[in-house]
Amino acid sequence: MNKTISNLRSSLAAAVTVGLILGTASVTLGATASDSVAFSGTAAPVATIAVDHATFTTLDIHAGASAVTVATATEICNSQTGYKVALESANAVAAGSASATLKGSAVATNTVSYTILYNGVGVTLGSDGKTASGTAAFTADAPTIEAGVQHALAVTFAGVWKPADTYSDTITLTIAAK
């Protein structure tokens, strides 16, 4: 019987030891915890164009003009796929024409044809079959830098003898993300 009690005590001691070891292991595992946080931010889309009229020059119709800068446009766009700038001559659109003209304010039939340069490139209005009369479009395949990019808007026309009048046109620039 002493042997049985001794065996029982050994078994009980072993069970208590195993229980303590398992209990300690579960306490150790339970003391370790982790969690995570996900976060993000957005960059709002930006597409702006600003025209600086400070470079405008009063044009002499009799003398003509050769690539005279009438404005500077600052384009800003952060679209990853780039952007498109549309240029529209009010007089050409009104006439349904691909020709840019300066119209007389007193007599609208008094006109002076002119050509447009944007960023040093000649502009052809409504010539690709996809663009409406009086308009042209330029594309950029990447975003601008934060400060934007500047492009000169210039005009050229031959000097002509015309009746006294004020001759004008309005060019509208529009920017949009591609």
- The CATH number assigned to the domain holding 164 equals 2.60.40.1570
pTM (2 d.p.): 0.75
Q: Express each pLDDT in 78-107 by its tens digit.
A: 999 999 999 999 999 999 889 999 999 998
Asked, for residue 60, whether it belongs to a domain, the answer is yes
Rounded (5°) CA angle 15-17-18 = 65
Q: Express each pLDDT in 102-146 by its tens digit.
A: 999 998 899 999 999 999 999 999 866 667 789 999 999 999 999
Q: Please, what is the average pLDDT of the chain?
A: 85
Find tokens 């007599």 and name the residue: 107
- CA 118 from chain centre, in angstroms, equals 18
**168 with 76: CB under 8 angstroms?**
no
Asked, for residue 13, whether it belongs to a domain, the answer is no
Asked, for residue 42, whether it belongs to a domain, the answer is no
Asked, for residue 51, whether it belongs to a domain, the answer is yes
SS3 55: helix
